[in-house]
Amino acid sequence: LGMYLILGSGAVLVCNAIGFSYPAWMTTRAMARTNLADNIRWLTYWLVFGAYTLLDNFQQEGSYTFYWVVKTLFLVWCMGGDNCTSGALVMYNYVVKYLIQFENGFSFTNWKAEKLFNRKLDVVMFWSGLALLIIYFMYGTRAAIVCNLICFLYPAKETLRTMATLNLHATRQWLTYWFVFSLYNLVDELPWLETSITCYWASKSLFLMCDAAHMIHRYVIIMPCPHTRNVTCNVSVLLYHSHASRLLC
């Protein structure tokens, strides 16, 4: 498998299929339960997977033959283990929780503006930017990169905000979004795609942004004085006690 990921012509599809299949199954199980720790863990994984999606667009034009092997091993490490020992938890403790602190601080700085406009400005920016870029999605040479950037960056920001609130239903909604986003990532690699469906990137961006806008409108999250250190510590404690309760059972 390692040699194929280095030399094979379909390495990108095999790598992404490995990174999607098992986590997708575990995500559907997590959404069927009421365990917030599982939701936080798999949200962290999908954020990592989505970030790799952005790198994939640049790698396809590069010459780093070991990229797909390294990516596959890293994703397997992130998805492995349980809620106390998984690579996703390590990524949460050393990367994601600091991003949450940064996002919370940014949200607190803009809290009065968000309260005044009820976040309608964000929705206007979504649709305006989407309308301006539809033509580029159809005819631009870098439509895939632009589409994936739009469909990743703002939803990732809102996902971090949701993880900080420990809202069970909202985390389920964002798990659904990242499930669909990652499934699209597999479809992106089909060789006949760009030649047979000229408006594919526009339709993908429109569908995902409609999904994201619906969830943002449904779960309006305003955090007027967040104690980010307590929030991230609470998540770590939550993951630890979830693991301990499973051992006791």
For residues 52 and 126, the model is more confident at 52
Percent of all residues in the chain with a pLDDT value above 90, rounded to a whole number: 17
For the whole model, what pTM was predicted? Answer: 0.76
Range in 8-12, 83-87, 206-210, 241-245 with the lowest mean pLDDT: 241-245
The C-alpha atoms of residue 191 and residue 175 are separated, in whole angstroms, by 28
pLDDT, tens digit, 9 for 90 and up, residues 133-192: 666 666 666 777 888 888 898 889 889 988 888 888 889 989 999 999 999 888 887 766
The C-alpha atoms of residue 138 and residue 144 are separated, in whole angstroms, by 10
Q: How many residues does the chain have?
A: 249
For residues 102 and 87, the model is more confident at 87
Long-range contacts, stretch 114-120, CB < 8 angstroms, 24+ apart: 114/222, 115/222, 118/220, 119/216, 119/220
Q: Does position 231 have pLDDT exceeding 90, yes or no? A: no
Percent of all residues in the chain with a pLDDT value above 70, rounded to a whole number: 59
Return the pLDDT at 247.
37
Q: Does position 115 have pLDDT exceeding 70, yes or no? A: no
- Residue written as tokens 């283990």? 81
User: Please, are residues 166 and 234 in contact by the beta-carbon 8 Å criterion?
Assistant: yes
The C-alpha atoms of residue 31 and residue 169 are separated, in whole angstroms, by 9
CA angle (176, 108, 163) in 5-degree steps: 25
pLDDT, tens digit, 9 for 90 and up, residues 68-83: 888 989 999 999 877 6
For residues 200 and 29, the model is more confident at 29
Looking at mean pLDDT, say which of 17-21, 33-37, 84-88 comes out highest. 17-21
H helix runs in the chain, sequence order:
2-7, 11-32, 36-59, 67-79, 87-91, 97-109, 111-117, 120-139, 143-165, 168-188, 193-196, 200-218, 228-248
Amino acid at 240: Y
Q: Does position 66 have pLDDT exceeding 70, yes or no? A: yes
User: Please, are residues 35 and 242 in contact by the beta-carbon 8 Å criterion?
Assistant: yes
Distances (CA, A) of 126 to 61, 76, 120, 130, 202: 29, 34, 10, 6, 14
Distances (CA, A) of 77 to 48, 55, 104, 199, 213: 12, 18, 28, 36, 32
The C-alpha atoms of residue 230 and residue 210 are separated, in whole angstroms, by 33
